[in-house]
Amino acid sequence: MKAQGLGVATVNYDSPEILKRFAGAHHIAYPMLSDKGSAVIRKFGILNTNIPQDHAFYGVPFPGDYVIAPDGVVRDKFFLPDYQTRPAASEVLLKDFGAAVGKNTTDVASGDVAMAVTLSDASSAPGHELGVAIEFSVGPGWHIYGQPLPENYVPTTVTFDSDVIAKQSIDFPAAIPIKFEALGETLPVYQGRFRATGAILLKIGVKPGDYKLGGTLKFQECNDTICKMPQAAKFELPLKIEPMIAGLKP
């Protein structure tokens, strides 16, 4: 992360003694700040309210990250509701800085449409959220469709179908509305190059090992006069699931 000019610090409700032991056990060099009593966590409004007050973990924040500029302005934030899940640092790097860890990219091409799908890392752990970036290229004279669309057209979608994924989301940029005189309709389309981003959340109970994340690109390719049949292009990305790092007891 230093290559992007980023420093790292953590805040949680553990005592300085526990944090010191954890940092020593896992060779952590960045600051780990103790917020015993969760005073700062409450002021930031990130106290995990999904945990009952009589639970041993009450006082922890929602798992997440802030990206803070040198002027103190929060530029982005990544938070999840379950204390057992957390955004991966690689998700932050991919979304905000365009940098992936491990060069985990696969290329897909069908007709005049191509895309490069990138996961933010080539390895992760159960319950971690990874970033996804998809670079599209549509050939000259052709377009594919965005949303919203009439039922007789096929919007462009990318879906992961792996059993290790608990949740996924892909955000497409706003499509450009174009009026097609021959059809008498104005439709949202993508042309040329564009980028979609999103995230996948790995299931909490996934066993360590090597996996293949399968996925499907669906789209309908058209020009000003004709539309080809809807297409579904398959792809795969490798992912190594590492064991979870155990914490230290008080």
**13-54 tens-digit pLDDT:** 999 999 999 999 989 999 999 998 999 999 999 999 999 999
Question: For the sheet containing 176-180, what is the strand order?
Answer: 144-145, 185-190, 176-180
Q: How far is CA 249 from CA 22, 127, 152, in A?
A: 9, 21, 58
Q: What distance in Å separates the CA atoms of residue 231 and residue 243, rounded to the nearest whole number?
A: 38
The reported pLDDT for the residue numbered 246 is 59
Whether residue 231 lies inside any domain: the answer is: yes
Question: Looking at the domain assignment, is residue 154 inside a domain?
Answer: yes
Domain of residue 120, residue span: 104-241
Task: Say yes or no: 170 and 117 in one domain.
Answer: yes
Q: Which residue has the tokens 């940092």?
A: 23
Tell whether 235 and 170 lie within a shared domain.
yes
Interatomic CA distance for residues 154 and 88, integer angstroms:
33
Q: Is 72 contained in some domain?
A: no
Residue 17 shares a structural domain with residue 134: no
Q: Is the pLDDT of residue 250 over 80?
A: no
Same domain, 112 and 47: no
Question: Confidence band (pLDDT; 50, 70, 90) for 1?
Answer: low
pLDDT above 80 for 183: no
Residues 218, 111 share a domain: yes
Is residue 50 located within the same domain as residue 148? no
Instruction: With respect to residue 76, please indicate whether it lies within any of the assigned structural domains.
Output: no
**Which phi and psi angles does 175 have, rounded to 5°?**
-75, 155
Q: Is residue 176 part of a domain?
A: yes
The whole-angstrom separation of Cα 221 and Cα 219 is 6
The CATH number of whichever domain residue 126 belongs to comes to 2.60.40
Q: Domains in the chain: how many in total?
A: 2
Q: Is residue 33 within 8 Å of 20, Cβ to Cβ?
A: no
What is the distance between the alpha carbons of residues 231 and 227, in angstroms, rounded to a whole number?
A: 11
- pLDDT-derived band at 184, boundaries 50, 70, 90: confident
| 35 and 128 part of one domain | no
- Nearest Cα neighbor of 126 from 241, 5, 39, 15 is 241
Residue 95 lies in a domain: no
pLDDT at 233 over 70: yes
